[in-house]
Amino acid sequence: MTSDVLIRSDGRVGHISLNRPKALHALTLDMCHAMSAALTDWSADDAVEAVILDHAEGRGFCAGGDIAFLRNSALNDGGVSGRAFFHDEYQLNHQMFEYAKPIVAFMDGVTMGGGVGISQPADFRVATEHTRFAMPETGIGLFPDVGGGWYLSRLPGRLGQFLALTGARLDGAECLWAGLATHYLPAEKLAEAKARIADHPDRIAGILSELSVTPPAARIEENVGNIAHHFRSDRLEDIVASLEGDDGDWAVKELATLRSKSPQTCKVALRQLAEAALLTDFADEMRMEYRIASRVLTRPDFAEGVRAVIVDKTGDPKWDPATPEGVSDALIDSIFAPLPEQEEWKPL
202 catalytic residue (yes or no): no
Give DSSP secondary structure letters for 3-19.
TTEEEEEETTEEEEEE-
3-state secondary structure 252-272: HHHHHHHHCCCHHHHHHHHHH
Question: How would you classify the pairing of strands 132-134 and 170-171?
Answer: antiparallel
Q: Which residue of the set 11, 60, 64, 65 is catalytic?
A: 65
57 catalytic residue (yes or no): no
DSSP element (H, E) containing 51: strand 50-55
**Per DSSP, which regions of 154-213 are E strands?**
170-171, 183-184
Report CA 341 to chain centroid distance, whole Å: 27
> Cα separations (Å) of 237 from 31, 156, 246, 303, 342?
39, 22, 15, 24, 36
DSSP element (H, E) containing 310: none
Q: Which residue of the set 145, 171, 254, 304 is catalytic?
A: 145
Q: Which residue of the set 114, 148, 167, 305 is catalytic?
A: 114
145 catalytic residue (yes or no): yes
Determine the Cα–Cα distance for residues 61 and 48; give it in Å rounded to an integer: 23
Residue type for position 302: F
> Cα separations (Å) of 106 from 56, 109, 173, 181?
11, 9, 14, 9
114 catalytic residue (yes or no): yes
Determine the Cα–Cα distance for residues 135 and 138; give it in Å rounded to an integer: 8
Q: Which residue of the set 54, 66, 137, 171 is catalytic?
A: 137
* 3-state secondary structure at position 57: coil
Determine the Cα–Cα distance for residues 173 and 132; give it in Å rounded to an integer: 10
Active site residues: 65, 114, 137, 145
